[in-house]
Each structure stands twice: as C-alpha cells, then as structure tokens.
Amino acid sequence: MAKQKVEVVVEEPMEEEGGNPIFALARKVLLAGVGAVVLTQEEIEKVINRMVERGEIAEQDGRKLLREVMDKRKKEAKKAEDEMDRRIEEILARLNVPTKSDIDALSAKITALTKKVDELKKS
C-alpha cells in the first residue's frame, strides 16, 4: 500500500469557540478523511506527532485527536463490514443459495422425519 501524504493548508484562521483553529481544522480534515483514505494508525500518529512537534497543537490535543480519529475509523470499518454482510446476504438470497440457518432448519426436519419413519417401521 502506498503511503499517503497529508497536507493541511490554512488560508483563513478558523476558530471554534476559543479553541485552537489549527487543531479544529486538523480534526475536521482527519475525521473527514478517514472515510475516504485509509490511513494506518502509525501514519496517523506520525502526522499528529509532527503537528505537536511544530507546535501546531498541544500534546494533550494530539492524544485526543488520535483517539477520535481511531474511534471514527473503527466505527466506519464496522459500518462498512455490516453493509458488506447485508449486500452479500441479498446476493445469496437472489441466487437462491441457502444460508446456514436454512440448512440447519432442513437438517432438523430431516432428523425429525427420520425418527417418525423409524417409529412407523417398528409399528
């Protein structure tokens, strides 16, 4: 996987109720970008550490931002996984491919019918 370069360009200061405008911008950029660009935790940490080293954000804000980005990433991954599962189920249903629960239900019916046949044979 090719490494992604993250560049933040600020033309006008952005402020969020007295907060650090660069931190607010970085938060928005990274949180918005998580859905579009897959960054590894290590790459995200490097970007945030560079911002801390340059004094663009405080270390505490950097840790908070990292937690937020990773939480967002986990939620997005879970949402994507759930959506993929749903679509796969739809495709299998359209193709009339039985699910595991369908096969288990049929197995239970076969077992019950086999018992009835055996009882009828004994009678």
* Diameter of the chain measured on Cα atoms: 91
What average pLDDT does the chain have?
75
Which pLDDT does position 10 carry in this prediction?
36
> So what's the pLDDT on residue 17?
44
Cα dihedral 45→50→56→61 (10° resolution): 20
69-116 confidence digits (pLDDT tens): 888 888 887 888 888 888 887 887 888 888 888 899 999 999 999 999
How much is the pLDDT for 19? Answer: 52
Q: What is the mean pLDDT of residues 34-56?
A: 76
pLDDT for residue 42: 78
Residue spans of the domains in the chain: they are: 21-96
- 1: tokens are 């996987």
Which of these, 2, 89, 104, lies nearest to 43 by C-alpha position?
2
pTM comes to 0.47
Burial zone of 21 (CB within 10 Å; 0-12 exposed, 13-18 middle, 19+ buried):
middle
Q: Which residues fall within 8 angstroms of residue 13, CB to CB, at 6 or more apart? A: 21
pLDDT value for 121:
94
